Amino acid sequence: MVSKSKQIILVSLAIFLLLGCASVKTKLPMEQGSVETGSSVTFRGEQLKLIGTPLSIGKPLPSAKLVDAMTMKEVDLSREMGSVLFLSIVVSVDTPVCEEQTHYLGDEGKKLPKEIKRITISRDTPFAQKRFAKESKLTEISYLSDYKEGDFGRATGTLIDKMMLLARSVILVDRKGVVRYIQVVPEITRFPDMDRAFQKAIELSKEP
């Protein structure tokens, strides 16, 4: 049985996910804090457990199956070598903060060196991601869906228990496939520190 408090959280999150807006113009304050993968996050103060294998800096990005929203082909980012991977992980592209996060990755991320691959990952279906990309005119970044079994979330310790959605995070992977930066936003309604992640990505792009 799901407790009454858990039911309230589920209903609240469902409402939150339905309140995506067509365009978010305001720049949200960036959260500098982070929690460990595989630990827990909060949704408006309510604690939510993260399930899966914790991800560690200095270790290779684990293998996980994702689906490319544009081609519908399976992608395994652990096999992507030679480029710096900027992984922007969102709860759903159709929510205000996630939309703002993706716009920031697309608009401000244009200033990043070309060898940095900008990727948005969520548990939205590939069709929802593709529609979002076209409607928002953010087609210069990649969209990968973890909609099938949540393989990526389980492999990185970013899957929210019960909700089965991905926690808001930013992960950077260097040219050799090694994880070099992780921010899991403690409160999933807040905005990640994209500027700090951009700077770190630039530093990684200069490494051989």
Q: pLDDT at residue 208 above 60?
A: yes
Give every CB contact of residue 204 below 8 A, 6+ residues apart in sequence.
Answer: 84, 116, 172, 174, 175, 180, 181
Of the candidates 9, 87, 97, 98, the residue annotated as catalytic is 98
pLDDT digits (tens, 9 = 90+) for 112-131: 999 999 999 999 999 999 99
State the number of CA atoms in the 13 A half-sphere of 157 facing the CB.
17
Task: Examine the residue annotation and report whether 21 is marked as an active-site residue of this protein.
Answer: no
Band (20; pLDDT cuts 50, 70, 90) = very low
One DSSP character per residue, the chain reads ---HHHHHHHHHHHHHHHT--S---SPPPEE-----TTSEEEETTEEEEEESPPP-TTSBPPP--EEETTT--EE-GGG--SSEEEEEE-S-TTSHHHHHHHHHHHHGGGGS-TTEEEEEEESS-HHHHHHHHHHHT--SSEEEE-TTT-HHHHHHT-EETTT--BPPEEEEE-TTSBEEEEEE-SBTTSEE-HHHHHHHHHHHHT--
Class level of CATH domain 4-205: alpha beta
Greater confidence (27 vs 140) lies with 140
> Is the entire prediction scored with pTM above 0.75?
yes
pLDDT digits (tens, 9 = 90+) for 29-78: 999 999 999 999 999 889 999 999 999 999 999 999 999 999 999 999 99
